[in-house]
Amino acid sequence: MKQKIALVALVVDDYDKAIEFYTKKLNFELIEDTKLSDTKRWVIVAPQGSTECSVLLAKASNDEQKSRIGNQTGGRVFLFLFTDNLKRDFNNLIGNGIRIIREPSAEVYGNVLVFEDLYGNHWDLIEPNNS
């Protein structure tokens, strides 16, 4: 048996605002943007060069979903983004006005920082020791 996680849904309030943030500020690629109905789109973004898991930008469609925007995990780090150059990406985050929650630090597994996305979700940016 072979399986893999292909997509992670991220609840957002507006497709276009989310696309702009992820493609312009985090330099992700827009993989797909397909209209499914008057209110729903299938929007996938992914880090540059990524061939594994992507992010599905899922617009909240009711009050319960809206209440989860930016806090899908109760405030803990939600997503983990690996990089081959933490310093370069840290400078990009700073240059794009992204809020840094925890400054870069060296850990046993590599260099890491925590940043906040457009909605307040916390991301680990990790340069693994083996990169």
What are the C-alpha distances in Å from 34 to residues 17, 37, 66? 16, 9, 22
Q: For the chain, what is the domain count?
A: 2
Alpha-carbon gap, residue 20 to 28, rounded angstroms: 10
Domain extent, residue 106, equals 70-131
Enter the pTM of the model. Answer: 0.92
Q: Tens of pLDDT along 87-121? A: 999 999 999 999 999 999 999 999 999 999 999 99
28 and 65 share a domain?
yes
For the ranges 35-44, 80-89, 122-131, the lowest mean pLDDT is seen at 122-131
Both 51 and 18 in a single domain? yes
| Angle CA 121–124–125, to nearest 5 | 125
